[in-house]
């Protein structure tokens, strides 16, 4: 599972793309399978971003997940410019 997520925890927006390791970490923590068809909530997205950001060069996030959540201002998919049909 590869998701591109954008978050702002007070230092401006940052973007990460998750990898398999992060997806497995999410499955272990939440005891759910990625492909089970259940909706993902804000905590799920924040966890995926936090786990990936800890291993991404150049991004410094709080080590403790709850500390990251306390600072989180925005989490979601990055905006994509869609061409307008003519």
- Return the domain boundaries, the chain: 4-76
pLDDT of residue 82: 64
Q: Roughly what angle, to the nearest 10 degrees, separates helices 20-30 and 42-54?
A: 130
Q: What is the pLDDT of residue 59?
A: 92
Distance from the first to the final alpha carbon of the chain: 34
Residue 48 CB neighbour total at 10 angstroms = 22
The per-residue pLDDT for 86 is: 66
> Looking at residue 27, what is its pLDDT?
95
State the pLDDT at residue 32.
92
How far is it, in rounded angstroms, from Cα 34 to Cα 32? Answer: 7
For the record, the structure tokens of 58 come out as: 């150049």
| 8 contacts 74 by C-beta, under 8 angstroms | yes
Mean pLDDT by 10 residues, the chain (86 residues): 91 94 95 86 96 93 96 91 68
């Amino acid at each position: 599972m590869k998701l591109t997520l954008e978050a702002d925890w007070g230092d401006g927006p940052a973007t990460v793309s998750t990898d398999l390791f992060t997806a497995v970490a999410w499955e272990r923590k939440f005891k759910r399978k990625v492909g089970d068809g259940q909706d993902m909530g804000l905590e799920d997205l924040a966890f995926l971003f936090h786990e990936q950001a800890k291993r991404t060069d150049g991004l410094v996030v709080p080590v403790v997940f709850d500390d990251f959540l306390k600072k989180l201002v925005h989490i979601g998919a990055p905006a994509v410019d869609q061409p307008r049909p003519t």
